[in-house]
Amino acid sequence: MTLLDHDRIRAVVWRDGSLELLDQRRLPQCEAFLRFNEAPAVAQAIRNMVVRGAPAIGIAAAYGVVLAARHAFATHGDDWQAAVRGDLQCLAAARPTAVNLFWALARMQRCLDALAPNVDPLLALLAEADAILAEDIAANRRMGELGAGLIDAGSAVLTHCNTGSLATGGFGTALGVIRAGWTAGRIEAVFADETRPWLQGARLTAWELTQDDIPVTLLAEGAAAHLLRQGRVRWVIVGADRITADGSVANKIGTYGLAILARYHGVKFMVVAPSSTVDMALASGDEIPIEQRAADELLSVGGARVAADGAGAWNPSFDVTPAALIDALVTERGVVLQPDRAKMQALMGDGV
């Protein structure tokens, strides 16, 4: 089978003048696209996890700017640029940790600023959003190639959360490496954490891999230590929502624990993310804002309460893995082994 056989899913689509998002809350039981024509509704979709994953959030927000500008131009004439600011602020406030959201909005803002007030902004902004989407897919394919090149033939790998086509424009970051490694015959088995409380591993990663004919074995997070002790897994491969100037990584809660387990058991730990995820303005992981989500997400499953009445919950959506626990950081710009501040500066240059 070819790489195309393992890359058939697209979750963020511009179709017939509207943004369509595959509703990830309903997977795997139901595959349904929701249609959006207003920026505030896109922001709500990001907040409510209709779309998730740092690159996909940024792409959805870029198309949200297209919708905002189209509406503002139709209703405010030459004052449309001022009218669109509120929608951009609404999109920016949707989720605080994933830096790709702010990167994409800043890029769309630069495109907005270059437009004359009396010119319909739709074509220029749509072209920019399309470019962000296409560049993300190209970057993912490059990262897949680079990351797979680090993996010895016959390896088993473990991944956490969902980092595939559902979390990106297509192909995926960590799952892109797994797709490329599986196609090349380097990976012989894929294990996936269930990823509580939203079960992205069980619902999304397992769905993606089975859809693309890649066998996957699911495990509870609590089983990861026992699995790594068996000696079969060679790499833990994860994505990232923000990477700081010292190489520290914010990713789905549970990633830090996996990194500690991997180091103890002599298993390599790989982080895969586009350079748009790197935030050189933050010196270390201590400066990353960590999103705290509603307690009910942890106390309930599928709308049914599973915790004892009266119990509270602490529900951070992300944790921070220090650079010292990372063996390889893969971006489309290249691979950084044992990342640190100097190596991150060399990778990013001026930080843009």
87 is catalytic: no
Which 3 state secondary structure label does DSSP give 311? coil
What's the rounded Cα separation, in Å, for the pair 48 and 46?
6
Q: Measure the N-to-C terminal CA separation of the chain; round to a whole number of Å.
A: 37
| Strand partners for 320 | 250
91: how many CB neighbours lie within 10 A of its CB?
Answer: 27
| Strand partners for 12 | 21
Which 3 state secondary structure label does DSSP give 42? helix
Instruction: Catalytic residue, from 23, 241, 279, 319: name it.
Output: 241
Q: How far is CA 123 from CA 24, 69, 154, 233, in A?
A: 29, 11, 48, 48
Which 3 state secondary structure label does DSSP give 187? strand
What's the rounded Cα separation, in Å, for the pair 43 and 62?
11
76: how many CB neighbours lie within 10 A of its CB?
Answer: 14
Closest CA to 175 of 270, 248, 276: 270
Amino acid code (one letter) for 309: D
What's the rounded Cα separation, in Å, for the pair 81 and 93?
19
Supply 134's token pair: 């296409």
Query: How far is C-alpha 218 from the chain's CA centre?
Result: 20
Closest CA to 344 of 237, 240, 235, 236: 240
Q: What is the DSSP letter of 274?
A: -
CA within 13 Å, CB half, 308: 2
Strands 268-272 and 233-238 come out as: parallel
Question: What is the set of active-site residues?
Answer: 241
